[in-house]
Chains A and B, each alone.
Chain A
Amino acid sequence: MKISFRVGNLLVLIILMTGIGTYAEDKPTKKETPEEQYKKLEKDQYDSREKILKKYRAVPDSPNQKSEQQKILKEYSAISDEFGEKILQLARENPQESFAVKAYAGVIFSDKLTPKDVENLQKYHSKSKEIGSLILSFSFRGINTKNPELTSALSALLESIVKDNPEKDNRGLAQFILVKSEVSKFEKEPGNESEAKKRAAEIEKRFNKLIEKYGDCPSVYAFRKGETLGDLAKKELFEFQHLRVGLVAPEIQAEDIDGVKFKLSDYRGKVILLDFWGDW
């Protein structure tokens, strides 16, 4: 009995040693590709977040519940920042890899995005299909950032997409964002009267060209079923022509909630806060 026990122990030891041996030998040859590293980071991020969320949901009903939950939320954002940093780092080390497009999506609106990042996106990915979902967010936020270098890098990226991207939808989207950014630049500083007139005409021309060339592309609002980029651009053009700061607001003539007809212009002479609202 005693002997066999010792033999057993020895066997375990041998197995363990071989295990370590193989592990140590395998490591250098099994080096993960950047793509694999990225996938692993994404997965780890997801798992860690899930774990924290589980903890969040499990906080018992007590007077401390809120503060406990606050603490957990802080943990959540710390973890997100930590992984975000790693993912960004990996993208910066491997800007030519296709995962970089997805990796950059996570920081596209943070102050971490540098002109250099955008230059790399332009250099390696202006022909990529996935770049469409990356730039989509700019159709809502615009590209006019506080950093003029970043803004011009973004504008150059969009110009490249319009020029080189094989996907018509991506070209149309990039063109739409460029025209919209002209609109917001104009709204901020229209310049003197004659200059403003010239610029406004130029913007209208660009809208019309967009409608003609990319009118059948999908709208940026996925939830508006059946709306095309052309429909949307027409509305944006109308808004530019009639609803921009500095113009007289169009008339509204409709019923109030009690069914009594009235007009917006009934209130001329007063400063009006016009509120498109809903109680939901």
Chain B
Amino acid sequence: MYPHERSLVKKYKDQPFAIIGVNSDRDKTSLKKRIEEEKITWRSFWNGPQGTGGPISKEWNVSGWPTLYILDQKGVIRYKSVGSNEKAMDKILHELLEGSSKKKE
């Protein structure tokens, strides 16, 4: 998961793209250490001290981790999945970020 996300950050660094996490770890101190170790540069909401039972994942009805959503520039949900399917996500991101700017071709 982390390597794929790091590669996306790198790939789309000049594009209007961001990863936003919703983190469900209870212990923030060890989490901060892991964030440094894994070079997680993107920002995360914290789901609170109840961990996976926290308010954000509750409202979003998350039942498995990771759960991933892709939102377009207007905030419209374009993809969602429980579990990471890198190929499917790459395809949607490609459509959203490279489909519109065809100048490159």
Which chain B residue lies CB-closest to A277?
A: B66
Determine how close the nearest CB of chain B comes to the CB of A35; give it in whole angstroms: 37
Contact with B along A145-160 (1 / 0, CB 8 A): 0000000000000000
Q: Please state if B8 and A273 are interface contacts (CB–CB under 8 Å).
A: yes
Which among A15-23, A51-59, A113-121, A232-240 touches the partner chain? A232-240
Interface size bucket, A side? Answer: 35 or more
Contact with A along B3-28 (1 / 0, CB 8 A): 00100100010011111111111001
Out of B35, B44, B51, B97, which one reaches A271, CB within 8 Å? Answer: B97
Contact with B along A250-280 (1 / 0, CB 8 A): 1010111100001011011111111111111
* Number of residues on chain B facing chain A (CB within 8 A): 56
Q: Please state if A280 and B25 are interface contacts (CB–CB under 8 Å).
A: yes
Out of A247, A276, A278, which one reaches B76, CB within 8 Å? Answer: A247
Main secondary structure of the interface of B (DSSP, over half): mixed
Complex-state Cα separation, A243 to B70, whole angstroms: 11
Which chain A residue lies CB-closest to B17?
A: A271
The A-B contact count (CB < 8 A) is 145
Complex-state Cα separation, A264 to B32, whole angstroms: 21
Out of A238, A245, A277, which one reaches B79, CB within 8 Å? Answer: A245
User: Is A248 in contact with chain B by the CB < 8 A criterion?
Assistant: yes
Q: Please state if A273 and B19 are interface contacts (CB–CB under 8 Å).
A: yes
Q: Please state if B22 and A249 are interface contacts (CB–CB under 8 Å).
A: no
Out of B17, B72, B77, which one reaches A244, CB within 8 Å? Answer: B77
Residues of A within 8 A of B47 (CB): 254
Complex-state Cα separation, A111 to B102, whole angstroms: 42
Residues of B within 8 A of A273 (CB): 5, 8, 17-20, 68-70, 89, 93
Q: Please state if A274 and B71 are interface contacts (CB–CB under 8 Å).
A: yes
Complex-state Cα separation, A278 to B34, whole angstroms: 11
**Residues A248 and B17 in contact in the complex (CB < 8 Å), given A256-B43, A276-B67:** no
Which of A243, A252, A269, A272 has the most B CB atoms < 10 Å from its CB? Answer: A272
User: Is A221 in contact with chain B by the CB < 8 A criterion?
Assistant: yes
Complex-state Cα separation, A257 to B25, whole angstroms: 10
Which of A268, A279, A280 has the most B CB atoms < 10 Å from its CB? Answer: A279
Contact with B along A8-41 (1 / 0, CB 8 A): 0000000000000000000000000000000000
**B residues in contact (CB < 8 Å) with A:** 1, 5, 8, 12, 15-25, 28, 31-32, 34-35, 38, 43-47, 51-52, 55-57, 59-63, 65-80, 89, 93, 96-97
**A residues in contact (CB < 8 Å) with B:** 221, 235-236, 238-239, 243-250, 252, 254-257, 262, 264-265, 267-280
7 other A-B residue contacts (CB within 8 Å) besides A235-B61, A262-B45, A279-B31: A257-B32, A265-B75, A272-B69, A273-B68, A275-B21, A278-B65, A278-B66
A-B pairs with beta carbons under 8 Å apart, 5 shown: A245-B77, A256-B43, A257-B31, A275-B20, A278-B65
